[in-house]
Every structure is written in C-alpha cells, then in structure tokens.
C-alpha cells in the first residue's frame, strides 16, 4: 500500500493507474476509522480496481469552539485498517500542504448548506465542500464513496458533483450501527460509559418517528412529535434538531409522500451526535 502525504505523488500514482485503464475508487475520511469506514473501503474495493483512502482532519470544517485539536488521530491503527481492507493508497496531506499561505477560495452549495447541521455549525459545509473538491482534484477518482450517516453532507456533495461537472460517481453507502443501534462515529470515542449506554436513544427516537409514519392518520407533524417525545425520554440528551425532510430537497414535506427521512442531531454531555432514518409510508 502506498502511503503518502504529498499531493503530487497521489496525483501521479492515480494518473498512472488511470492510464492503464484501471477504475479508481476514493474514500475521503478524517481518520479514527471504525467499521463504518471499513465498510466504505470494502465496497470501494469490490467495485474498483484500485482504492485510495484519504485521512485529513480538515480545519476548515471545524468551528472555533469545536473539537479540532482533540479530534482522535490514531494514524498507525488507521493505516492498518486501510491495509487490511485492501486499499491501494493512503493519502494523508498536512494542513500546510492543503491550505498554503494565501489560500482564499471557498466552495458553497447554497440552499442545502445552511439547513439543519449547517444552522448549528455555520461554515461547516463550506469547509467540507471546499476540501472534498480539492481532494477530488488531487486524487481524480472515478467514484467517491460516502456514508449515509452524514446524510446532509452526502446530499451536498452529490449536488457539488453535478453542479461543477466533476465527472465522479457519488456512491452513498448504508449507515453502520453498533448492535444496540448507535450509529458508528469517530465521536463515539468521547462518550463516558453512562453516555454510551444512553446514546442508542437517538436511534430509538428516529425509529419511533418512522413507526408513527406507518399509522393510519399520521402526518409529518405527528411523525416529528413522536420522535421528539421519544428522544425527550432520555434525560442525558439535549436536542439540537430533529426534523422530517424530503430526501431530495432536505426541506419538510407537505405530506407523508415520497422519499422522506428523519434527520437529527443531539448533544449528550459535550458530544454532538447525528443520526438519520428513512421514512417509508
Ligand atoms: O465525513 C467526513 O469524514 C468529512 O466530512 C470528509 C468528507 C472526509 C471531508 O473532510
């Protein structure tokens, strides 16, 4: 497995693969890899000839009061996961090589970035869109693999790929959960034992909403009410947002029709967790 921090090296390597007609998949990450990431890499390996994984804790997508400095960075363990899952290259640029002095450009996907997580984390999705466009320009893969866990991020990056004619297939991959229902996340490492025991309540709340959607006479408001009421039963959680949206627009639907999804973010202690659940009527 090629391990490199140098942008020109990864571009050259992928260029050589492409020149030989090989299909290249790309899994961008911020490291602290868990089974969710491993499942993305496995899928990319199954569907491509070569897979590049990037590890870059992107300062541009963290707010001033967020967890950039304490974000976990277990590089050796991450490299072992990439190797085990069959990645051909691990790319881990430094912040200085990504954002050289004088860097001024930002990429904004309007109308999707300000909603939900974007309302609580201003500038977050601008940072995500900017770094992912840079990574795609450096790596030049055929396909980009992203988890549905960050459903809003996936929608925004799909839009980015279409709007800017990036010529990359964006592949959304199923969210992976612990056996008790908690969505896997690098931030789960921050939870105390008590918080970890309480954390599956977020998923339970979304499931309660999805169940309500199947009840005769249910509507968008009753679905959201049911999910919020279930979340309120877990006193350790403080809701950031919990909404029902149309999967295409990320806006509240007028009726229980089409492809809908419950999206939620909630604080447990100092940790903010996100989750989502498809709602099929
Ligand atoms: O989902 C993530 O880990 C990050 O937002 C991403 C896509 C790697 C961009 O930094």
Q: What is the mean pLDDT of residues 243-270?
A: 97
CA distance 17 to 204: 45
What is the rounded distance in angstroms from the CA atom of residue 189 to the CA atom of residue 201?
17
For residues 213 and 89, membership in a common domain is answered with: no
User: How many CB atoms within 10 Å of residue 270?
Assistant: 11
CATH number, domain of 98, equals 3.40.50.620
Per the domain annotation, does 265 fall within a domain?
yes
Give residue 1's pLDDT.
97
Last residue of a domain, one of 173, 201, 223: 173
pTM of the model: 0.97
Same domain, 135 and 202: no
Q: Which of 56, 153, 157, 184 to mutate to test the pocket of ligand 1 (most atoms within 8 A of CB)?
A: 153
Range of the domain at 211: 186-275
CB of 51 closer than 8 Å to CB of 41? yes
Q: Is residue 195 part of a domain?
A: yes
Residues 90 and 220 placed together within one structural domain of the fold: no
Same domain, 148 and 246: no
For 279, the token pair is: 């709602």
* Domain stops at, among 105, 138, 173: 173
Residue 281, domain member (yes or no): no
* 101 and 203 co-located in one domain: no
Per-residue pLDDT of 170-180, as tens digits, reads 999 999 999 99
CATH of the domain at 228: 3.30.1300.10
Q: Could you tell me if 132 and 11 lie in one domain?
A: yes
Q: Are residues 148 and 237 in the same domain?
A: no
Task: Judge whether 105 and 130 are in contact, CB under 8 Å.
Answer: yes
Catalytic residue among 37, 116, 124, 142: 37
Helix (H) / strand (E) element for 224: namely: helix 220-232
Alpha helices in 48-186 (DSSP H): 75-85, 95-98, 117-120, 124-139, 151-163
Residue 30 lies in a domain: yes
Residue of minimum CA distance from atom 6 in ligand 1: 29
Looking at the fold, whether 211 and 235 belong to one and the same domain comes out as yes
- Residue 14 burial class via C-beta count within 10 angstroms: exposed 0-12, middle 13-18, buried 19 and up: buried
Clarify whether 37 is annotated catalytic. yes
Cα(61) to ligand 1 centroid in Å equals: 9
One domain for residues 113 and 46: yes
Give the 3-state secondary structure of residue 176. Answer: coil
Supply angle C-alpha 192, 146, 275, rounded to 5.
40
Q: Which of 117, 145, 173 delimits the end of a domain? A: 173
- Radius of gyration in angstroms for the set of CA atoms belonging to the chain, rounded to a whole number: 19
Domain total for the chain?
2
User: Ligand 1 mean position to 76 CA, how many Å?
Assistant: 19
Model confidence pLDDT, tens digit, residues 82-134: 999 999 999 999 999 999 999 999 999 999 999 999 999 999 999 999 999 99
Average model confidence (pLDDT) across the chain: 97
Give every strand in the sheet of 271-279, ordered side by side.
Answer: 237-246, 260-268, 271-279
Percent of the chain with pLDDT over 90: 99
């Amino acid at each position: 497995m090629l391990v490199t921090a140098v942008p020109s090296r990864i571009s050259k390597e992928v260029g050589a693969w492409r020149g030989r007609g090989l299909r290249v998949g790309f899994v961008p990450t911020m490291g602290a890899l868990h089974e969710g990431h491993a499942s993305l890499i496995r899928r990319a390996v199954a569907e491509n000839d070569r897979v590049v994984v990037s590890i870059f804790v992107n300062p541009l997508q963290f707010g001033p009061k967020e967890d950039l400095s304490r974000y976990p960075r277990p590089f050796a363990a991450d490299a072992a996961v990439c190797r085990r899952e069959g990645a051909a290259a691990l790319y881990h640029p430094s912040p200085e090589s990504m954002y050289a002095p004088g860097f001024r450009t930002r990429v904004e996907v309007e109308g999707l970035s300000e909603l939900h997580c974007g309302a609580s984390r201003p500038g977050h999705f601008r940072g995500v869109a900017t770094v992912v466009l840079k990574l795609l320009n450096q790596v030049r893969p055929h396909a980009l693999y992203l988890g549905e866990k960050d459903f809003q991020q996936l929608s925004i990056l799909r839009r980015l790929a279409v709007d800017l004619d990036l010529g990359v297939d964006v592949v959304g991959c199923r969210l992976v959960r612990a056996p008790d229902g908690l969505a896997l996340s690098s931030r789960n490492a921050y939870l105390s034992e008590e918080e970890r025991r309480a954390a599956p309540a977020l998923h339970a709340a979304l499931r309660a909403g999805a169940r309500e959607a199947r009840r005769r006479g249910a509507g968008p408001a009753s679905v959201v009410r049911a999910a919020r009421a279930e979340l309120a039963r877990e006193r350790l959680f403080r809701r950031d947002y919990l909404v029902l949206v149309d999967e295409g627009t990320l806006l509240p639907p007028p009726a229980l029709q089409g492809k809908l999804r419950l999206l939620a973010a909630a604080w447990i202690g100092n940790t903010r967790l996100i989750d989502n659940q498809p709602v099929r009527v």
